[in-house]
Chain A
Amino acid sequence: MTEKLSKEPADTPPAEEPSGTTTVIPASPVGEVIKAIPVRHYGRWVSGVIVIALLLLIGYSFSQGDIQWNAIPAKIFDDSVVAGAGRTLLVSVLAMVLGVVLGIVLAVMRLSKNPVTSGVAWLYIWFFRGTPVYLQLLLWFNLALIFPYLDLGPLYKDEMTDVMTPFLCALLGLGLNEAAYMAEICRAGLLAVDEGQTEASQALGMSQGKTLRRIVIPQAMRVIVPPTGNEFINMLKTSALVYAVTYNELLRSTSAIGSTSYAVMEMLFVAAIWYLVMTSVFSVFQFYLERRYARGSLRSLPDTPLQKIKANLLGLSGDRSVR
């Protein structure tokens, strides 16, 4: 070691030449593409073969099962199934919107200096995170038992059962529960923004509201969006619980067909396919959303899949630009 350290550096920079003479840069061996025989990974081949064999086995046993395969394509675009998927999507999106908006409000409330405001937000989160969403759905569904009438004084009065439609139960149950989770996600996001940002904005004379909307929230979004995407995918699936409040979402409508046509498993497969399609489509959307909010935090944005394909095609046609 000491020997190495004490050695003269091999390439001492040439002493400053007087102007006028040209320095010759020594040719380096860099520039020649290395051609070498790659390492063979035999282990990978063996494990790959085993996994494929297992998959084939599972596939085979399903093909031997008592499944009416043709029921799946026959029912997948059935009117009531499509309508059910539409309702699942509708109630999920609306509940998520409710959750996000209310979540941001709750997060701001929790961070407020006013103890009443932050206390109320804390209480809300405590209740809605601390009880099962299934129970909350049932609470909304059965509200008429304790309040037969919804009476907003001179504004509005109606029977609770008319107001609390299955849709509204589903929306409130899912949305209000989601808000509690979103509040914590948003709070983490708001806290992640450097205090200097608020100060800089206030020093410019921006109001608290503008500071929040224009400066803090857009930066918090980078932290908020990825877990919110996960929340939404969860919501798409959790919405199956609104079955309990008799809202005709995807699972309920497929099950209805399943029990009348004796194709119970087949209809569950149909539902599974729909859920997979919806979550997959959303995952793509989420990628672009995250990319948008990464603006300014990365020196260059990650490639979109399309850009990657383009780059690969260009690469194949010989133009190997190093990135």
Chain B
Amino acid sequence: MSVMVQAENVYKSFGHVEVLKGINLEVATGEVFCLVGPSGSGKSTFLRCINHLEKVNAGRLSVDGQLVGYRQKGDKLYELKDSEVARQRREIGMVFQRFNLFPHMTALENVMEAPVQVKGESKATARERAVKLLDRVGLGDKAGNYPTQLSGGQQQRVAIARALAMEPKLMLFDEPTSALDPELVGDVLDVMRGLAEDGMTMIVVTHEMGFAREVGDSLVFMDEGVVVESGHPRDVLTNPQHDRTKSFLSKVL
């Protein structure tokens, strides 16, 4: 099985605060990889490092065999230009806790924007795919709505469609359901479940342990910037080995 994301000894600090302290993990192609841990443990930071929204201070992080943000020549690392970083990001979809839809565009325009602007697709092609994607997330009838005219759950599903429009090989989800009313969570999780069934490689930061157990292929428990425990979700969730994992799970389960 090929490796989609590989992190070796990844460090990241903001000023003097060390947030990631040597992360080691591997995400296989096609798997649903769940990342759990207490608030402030560095989950979002790690996710943002994967698409270079944050720069890694030490260690190596690669996606699909390519170093994120750098190029290696001999034993020297060269920073990538902005345009090269952008090219890497195209292949990685990201879904945010707070949706971050473009409020001045309709749902359809949100989904069409990147394919037209980044890939230079024709509007007709982009529109055709956008309509299909909105159908897929169950929002075919909301294409003309602006984000303010959608519920949180609907906005998040548009955000998923928007990320999918770039046909990414990897999807990052940062607590996609945390900002949602409980009754809207299910719709979003259904869409993600569908994606998983289609074989999308996904890294999901979540507090939805039910989802992790049911859909996840592996699960990592992170605390204070290190991986404390990892394994199959069923094993980690029902039979945690470390005290820190136990105390965290007892709070969220």
Contact = CB atoms under 8 A, between A and B. Distances in A.
Contacts of B73: none
A165 to B, nearest CB: 41
Interface string A121-158: 00000000000000000000000000000000000000
Most A CB atoms within 10 A — which of B102, B163, B166? B102
A219 to B, nearest CB: 6
Interface string B150-176: 000000000100110010000000000
Interface residues of B, number: 32
Interface string B183-212: 000000000000000000000000000000
B100 A204 contact: no
A246 B102 CA distance: 48
B104 A219 contact: yes
Contact of A219 (B87, B103, B149): B103
A297 B147 CA distance: 9
B177 interface: no
B166 A205 contact: yes
A199 B105 contact: no
Contacts of A295: 104, 146
B82 to A, nearest CB: 6
B89 interface: yes
Interface residues of A, number: 23
Nearest to A194: B100
A194 B101 CA distance: 11
Contacts of A219: 102-104
Interface string A260-301: 000000000000000000000000000000000001111100
Interface in B79-124: 82-83, 86-87, 89-94, 96, 98, 100-105, 113-114, 117-118
B100 A199 contact: yes
Contacts of B82: 207-208
Given A196-B96, A299-B149, A205 B102 contact: no
Interface string A184-222: 000000000010110111111111101000110011000
B90 A204 contact: yes
Contact of B89 (A196, A197, A202, A218): A202
Contacts of B6: none
B148 interface: yes
B51 interface: yes
A319 B163 CA distance: 46
A205 B86 contact: yes
A197 B117 contact: no
Contacts of B51: 203
23 contacts: A197-B102, A199-B96, A199-B100, A200-B94, A201-B102, A202-B86, A203-B51, A203-B89, A203-B163, A204-B90, A204-B113, A204-B114, A204-B118, A204-B162, A205-B86, A205-B87, A205-B89, A205-B166, A210-B117, A215-B102, A219-B103, A295-B146, A296-B146
Interface of A: 194, 196-197, 199-208, 210, 214-215, 218-219, 295-299
Across chains A and B, which 7 residue pairs bring their CB atoms closest together, nearest first?
Answer: A205-B90, A200-B100, A204-B114, A196-B100, A203-B94, A296-B146, A296-B104
